[in-house]
Structure 1
Amino acid sequence: MLTVGDTFPEFQLQATVSNDLNTAFVDLNNKSYPGKWLCVFFYPKDFTFVCPTEITAFGALNAQFNDRDCQILTGSIDSEFVHLAWRRDHKDLGTLPFPMLADIKRELTSALGILDKATGVAKRATFLVDPEGIIRFVDVTDMSVGRNPQEVLRVLDALQTDELCPCNWKQGESTLKAA
């Protein structure tokens, strides 16, 4: 699995960005958001139970990520059409403010090393990628445990200080000074 300090892999994927079939799909790649941080999180499958709780929680924080020049992307091994159907079906996903990547060939999940060998789906993995394409944070949880988007935002804040941040540091608090 790729980790902190590694370069995020190049990708070219279809993404679902709306519920309107005429405008629902766009092509995205790792250069689609120049100069921005990326928060890329993967989940196992559409039409499941833990996944929409995470996706909607990230959606609720989307403006805060945008305020930090960070674009959220989510994805799974489902197709763009399955993403569209899920957005239309699930009341909490209809107005999702960020793209849903369709890694149906499993190229990006394989390059990242997060494809679960037993099930063939993406592990529940989160990556914060700096504007130069370097992975600065990785988190992977068990398939049955949802992640904490507030913690991902807190880590992004800490990374963007370029300073030493103590345990449980929050934006606005003092950072550490090396003696």
Structure 2
Amino acid sequence: MSVLNTKILPFQATAFRNGEFVDVSDADVAGKWSVFFFYPADFTFVCPTELGDMADNYDEFQKLGVDIYSVSTDTHFVHKAWHEASETIGKIQYTMIGDPSGQVTNNFDVMREGAGQADRGTFLVDPDGIIQYLEITPEGVGRNATELLRKVKAAQYVRNHPGEVCPAKWEEEEATLTPGIDLVGKI
């Protein structure tokens, strides 16, 4: 069952953010755009490259009003240790949710059965708490924050311009489409 176009389920977790442990819940994302960025584990190989890429693009997400939440089934203590041990992870300013109970990971349906780890999943949640975009990639394939930014801009555009849609490879300020009978067979 896909969680696309469904409301996120309630959750509570402890996270590491900017040198502190903080409590995070579904109430914290209400009324905001949010990205939940699930990954298998701290102190691994592909994961730090992805989290570092998100850190490098964090200011761009913030300009769009998007909060970033990375999530693994490691604890918030492990996130802190990784943040202190890795130059790449040390530059992260966004919230790193510890999910050892698997509540958040299971809520987004990305728990690897029998492994206790999350799949490599990305979810864009709109201000109403509805999942507008999701991507699941295989273990060995890292994600691209720049491509995610493009998709966030498209989702925000569509939300703010009812009746319009963004075609493939759409970039900000490019033409959109208005679905209708006149377009059938013309594209």
| Residue in 2 that maps onto 1:10 | 10
2:47 alignment partner AA:
C
* Deviation for aligned residue 1:29: 0.8
Counterpart pick for 1:145 among 135, 138, 141: 141
Distance in 1 separating the partners of 2:166 and 2:84: 41
RMSD over aligned CA atoms reads 1.2
8 Å Cα contact 2:69/2:95 also seen in 1 = yes
Q: CA deviation at 1:2?
A: 4.0
Paired amino acid for 1:60: D
Per-residue CA deviations over 1:82-105 (Å, capped at 9, x if unaligned) read 000000000111131101000010
AA matched with 2:82 = W
Asked if the contact 1:76–1:103 (Cα under 8 Å) also holds between the matched residues in 2, the reply is yes
Partner of residue 107, structure 1: 103
Q: For residues 52 and 46 of structure 2, what CA distance do their matches in structure 1 show?
A: 11
The answer (yes or no) to whether the contact 2:40–2:117 under 8 Å persists in 1 is yes
Q: Which runs of 4+ in 1 moved over 4 A?
A: none
**Where in structure 2 are the equivalents of 1:131-170 lying within 5 Å?**
131-162=127-158, 163-170=164-171
Q: Name the TM-score, length of structure 2 as normaliser.
A: 0.89
State how far apart, in whole Å, the 2-side matches of 1:110 and 1:30 are.
Answer: 14
Stretches of structure 2 lacking an aligned partner (at least 5 in a row): 159-163, 183-187
Match of 2:173 in 1: 172
The CA distance in 2 between the partners of 1:82 and 1:2, in whole Å, is 30
TM-score (ref. length: structure 1): 0.93
Q: Structure 1 counterpart of 2:58, which letter?
A: N
Choose from 63, 86, 90 the match for 1:90.
Answer: 86
Q: Match of 1:3, as an amino acid?
A: V
Highest Rg: 1 or 2? 2
- Find out whether 1:116 has 2:112 as its counterpart: yes
Secondary structure, aligned partner of 2:135: strand
**In the alignment, is the contact (CA less than 8 A) between 1:2 and 1:112 conserved in 2?**
no
Q: Does the 8 Å contact 1:3/1:137 carry over to 2?
A: no
- CA distance in structure 1 between the aligned counterparts of 2:7 and 2:24, rounded to whole angstroms: 18
Distance 1:152 1:9 in 2: 23
Indicate whether 1:73 and 2:82 are aligned. Answer: no
Stretches of structure 1 that go unaligned for 5 or more consecutive residues are none
User: For 1:9-54, what per-residue CA distance to the aligned partner results, in whole angstroms no more than 9, with x for missing partners?
Assistant: 11111000134xxxx2000111114421001111000000100100
Q: Retained in 1: the 8 A contact 2:52–2:91?
A: no
Q: Which moved more, 1:60-69 or 1:83-92?
A: 60-69
**Could you tell me how far apart the structure 2 residues matched to 1:2 and 1:53 are?**
27
* SS of match in other structure, 1:168: coil
